[in-house]
């Protein structure tokens, strides 16, 4: 089975989730997006955010200018039933291999959609290598409570930074482990740089 034979996740569900998240997040918190134009309005884009916060996916939904398919992190998966995730166009991670999630995300990217990976449940290396989609680093500041998987207090300020798309270099066969390792290092460095810049711009500590 290949990603090309898999039906992409629900686009209308992602659009509906975006509308709901936008209202809920802005009513509950003081959400400030920065650079969300970097996501663009068309074409494939892979947004990557290292936050394991339960609201990371909802905050991305609420602040991007287009529907996006969020790959659920561990906290989001525990909080919502799989049926709810699927109807919202969210990509669930059903097991440790995350193969089904990778295939669904690849199908969405190959259909020129935006996909967001939150947390560490899925590595972006395979998707970047196989689709050639640009990497958009995302940093969420203030989106977690005292415990990372808890939500922040109502009316807290939350900053969501979207950085310029990066064309990741694929140094060899996309299916080779060494190639994916090299891509993972590029992603790690890009996210570390983005987190440092976001912390400096906001005056906050990540």
* Domains in the chain with CATH codes: 3-202 (3.40.1130.10)
Average the pLDDT over 44-73 and give the result.
94
pLDDT at residue 1 is higher than 60: no
pLDDT at residue 21 is higher than 70: yes
- For the entire predicted model, the pTM comes to 0.91
The pLDDT assigned to 103 comes to: 93
More confident residue, 135 or 96: 135
Average the pLDDT over 160-167 and give the result.
98
DSSP code at position 114 = E
The pLDDT assigned to 136 comes to: 98
Range among 7-11, 40-44, 120-124 rated most confident? 40-44
Q: pLDDT band for 97, please (50, 70, 90 cuts).
A: confident
What Cα–Cα distance (Å) separates residue 109 from each residue in 69, 83, 90, 127, 134? 10, 22, 14, 8, 10
Alpha helices in 3-150 (DSSP H): 11-28, 56-63, 74-79, 82-87, 99-110, 125-131
Q: Point out which residues pair with 31 in neighbouring strands.
A: 158
Nearest Cα residue to 116 out of 12, 36, 182, 6: 36
């Amino acid at each position: 089975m290949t990603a090309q034979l898999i039906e992409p996740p629900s686009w209308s569900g992602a659009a509906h989730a975006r509308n709901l998240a936008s209202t809920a997040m802005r009513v509950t918190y003081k959400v400030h997006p920065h650079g969300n134009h970097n996501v663009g309005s068309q074409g494939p884009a892979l947004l990557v955010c290292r936050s394991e916060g339960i609201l990371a996916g909802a905050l991305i939904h609420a602040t991007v200018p287009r529907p996006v398919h969020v790959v659920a992190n561990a906290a989001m998966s525990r909080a919502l039933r799989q049926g709810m995730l699927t109807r919202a166009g969210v990509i669930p991670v059903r097991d440790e291999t995350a193969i089904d999630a990778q295939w669904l995300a690849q199908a969405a990217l190959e259909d020129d959609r935006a996909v967001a990976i939150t947390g560490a449940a899925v590595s972006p290396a395979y998707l970047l290598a196989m689709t050639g989609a640009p990497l958009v680093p995302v940093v969420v500041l203030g989106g977690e409570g005292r415990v990372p998987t808890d939500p922040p207090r109502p009316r807290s300020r939350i900053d969501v930074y979207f950085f310029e798309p990066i064309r990741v270099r694929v140094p060899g066969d996309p299916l080779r482990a060494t190639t994916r390792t090299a891509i993972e290092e590029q992603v790690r460095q890009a996210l570390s740089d983005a987190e440092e810049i976001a912390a400096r711009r906001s005056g906050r500590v990540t």
